[in-house]
Amino acid sequence: MNHHRILAVAHMREADRLTIASGVPGMVLMERAGAGVAQAARAMLAPTGRVVILCGPGNNGGDGFIAARRLAEDGYRVTLGLLGPRERLSGDAAAAARLYDGPVIALEDITCDEAGLVIDALFGTGLTRDLEGAVAACIARVARSGVPVLAVDIPSGIDGDSGAIRGVALPATRTVTFAARKPGHLLLPGRDLCGAISVVDIGIPDATCDGFAPALFANEPALWRDTLPRPESDTHKYKRGHALVLSGEMHRTGAARLAARGALRVGAGAVTLASPRAALAVNAAHLTAIMLAPCDTPEELGVLLEDRRFTAVALGPGYGVGEATRAMVKAAARTGRGLVLDADALTSFAGEAYTLGMVASAARACVLTPHEGEMRRLFESAEGVRDAPNRWQAALRAAEIVRSVVICKGGDTIVASPDGRAAILAETTPYLATAGSGDVLTGIVTGLIAQGMPAFEAACAAVWLHARTGIVYGPGLIAEDLSEALPGVLRGL
């Protein structure tokens, strides 16, 4: 199994169809899925403990019947509640139900008394509308009982593609999914309701999923570790890349310095801060390893970038919104370097995403790092972004329009590339929500791009490193700490 691949719901269904078409009966897949669930349940149950299994009307319920049969064979006391009449089951789910010879009661009659575990096999990737009525009431009862819950495929009520709660959802202690995680396991609020996730190999060959587009991934080191820059013995500082970070005016220079420090810490051989003359003294008072150059106009930026040793430029943090910023972005892009645009550089193109795309296409590689508000402003009139059915589709469409890699920041950060790849961060911490944290992220991406790392991988690595550093540091984290704690995380790789 390719462990960092994730499958959209439609792709999971297609993988299932292709595997069955290649000669593996659907019932074999379901048997493996149910066996995986039973195995996870055993680890959560005392010997001969009581397990309540909630089965829905589709194949998710079918997995539940398989698990019920296996657990009953092992001597566990199984109570199975089914939503709807048994005669309404069809296909593999009906076959799985026939193989289970224990009692089946109505879902409405289920109680959790003395249960050591509830297995939630109500709905998986086939959820098509909000949960209500008897199912919603049952979910509320189980959630109130406090009994541990093992979710089959995904907690019932979570949309597999968006992670949204459809009406209500049953929070799980553990989730067992099949072949690969789905976007809903990683996106909020779904991520918070899955508990620990394990993926069971049910025999869908990797090659079956290789051609799926868009290609979705969990943002984990396996995705980008091979492209992470590592200095060679014979290197020198300029071979390790030289990043240029543009500073804002006198009263808002901190953001650029945070970014510059991030770029240096992630391994750029040299970092220069390009500062308005009026702010040179302020910047000089705070910098040691980072160099300083005066720069007030697009023309001056052009002259500065005649030095071919500069490999990447970061623009936006604390820079100010307006025409002057737009002109700077254009000047930077024209020089064909790696370009990272954040904050005010993005807001300066509010409502003009296509224009920004044209500008960005001149850069060697371009990464944009909008948070939710910047995303909304930049793409307010762009078709297919604000009205996308979920965040990864919005991110992919955004990347296509701006012809750049886009990092959609937030509690469930997504990196999307115009080539159709997208990666969702699997693990992070809300302690990152602190002033200036995004500026450090900008610096980390810039530092990686300055060292020649490809834009998508650089963006993914930066997002992961930033989050990992936040997790390791934990409570009390402020933006300054991120760069200083980064070497420890880099060492761990």
Write out the binding residues: 59-63, 120, 124-130, 153, 156, 255, 318, 371, 409-413, 438-439
Single out the residue of 248, 438, 443, 447 in contact with ligand ADP (rule: CB under 6 A): 438
DSSP bridge partners of 118: 52, 149
In angstroms, the first-to-last Cα distance of the chain is 22
The site partner of 349 among ligand ADP, ligand NPW, K ion, none (C-beta below 5 to 8 Å per kind) is none
**Listed residue (370, 365, 363, 342) closest to 443, CA to CA:** 342
Candidate segments 160-168, 291-299, 322-330, 433-441, binder of ligand ADP by CB under 6 A: 433-441
Tokens (6 digits) for 389: 């059915």
Taking CB under 6 A as the rule, which mask of x and - marks residues 288-327 in contact with ligand ADP? ----------------------------------------
The least distance separating ligand ADP from the CB of residue 129, rounded to whole angstroms, comes to: 29
Q: Tell me: does residue 219 bind ligand ADP (CB under 6 A).
A: no
Q: Tell me: does residue 437 bind ligand ADP (CB under 6 A).
A: yes
Distance from C-alpha of 452 to C-alpha of 267, rounded to nearest angstrom: 11
**Listed residue (78, 49, 70, 190) closest to 127, CA to CA:** 190
Q: Tell me: does residue 475 bind ligand ADP (CB under 6 A).
A: no
Q: Which lies closer to ligand NPW via its Cβ, residue 108 or residue 299?
A: 108
Q: Tell me: does residue 61 bind ligand ADP (CB under 6 A).
A: no
DSSP bridge partners of 219: 425
The least distance separating K ion from the CB of residue 485, rounded to whole angstroms, comes to: 38
> Exposure string (b/e) for 120-148, b if CB count within 10 Å is 16 or more?
bbbbbbebeeebeeebbebbeebbeeebb
Taking CB under 6 A as the rule, which mask of x and - marks residues 191-220 in contact with ligand NPW? -----------x------------------
The least distance separating ligand ADP from the CB of residue 343, rounded to whole angstroms, comes to: 6
Q: Tell me: does residue 127 bind ligand NPW (CB under 6 A).
A: yes
Tokens (6 digits) for 461: 């690595």
Instruction: Judge contact between 489 and 350, C-beta under 8 A.
Output: no
Instruction: Judge contact between 263 and 245, C-beta under 8 A.
Output: yes
Q: Tell me: does residue 459 bind ligand ADP (CB under 6 A).
A: no
Single out the residue of 348, 404, 413, 483 in contact with ligand ADP (rule: CB under 6 A): 413
Return all residues near 159 (Cβ < 8 A) that are at least 6 apart: 127, 165, 166, 184, 190, 390
Going by the annotation, the residues of the binding site for K(+) are: 60, 120, 156
Distance from C-alpha of 267 to C-alpha of 281, rounded to nearest angstrom: 26
Q: Tell me: does residue 384 bind ligand ADP (CB under 6 A).
A: no
The least distance separating ligand NPW from the CB of residue 31, rounded to whole angstroms, comes to: 9
Q: Tell me: does residue 139 bind ligand NPW (CB under 6 A).
A: no
Using CA atoms, how far residue 308 sits from 303, 314, 333, in Å, is 11, 16, 14
**Listed residue (418, 323, 489, 391) closest to 163, CA to CA:** 391
Q: Which lies closer to ligand NPW via its Cβ, residue 136 or residue 362?
A: 136
Instruction: Provide the binding-site residues for ligand ADP, judged by CB under 6 A.
Output: 343, 371, 409-411, 413, 428-430, 432-433, 435-439, 441, 466
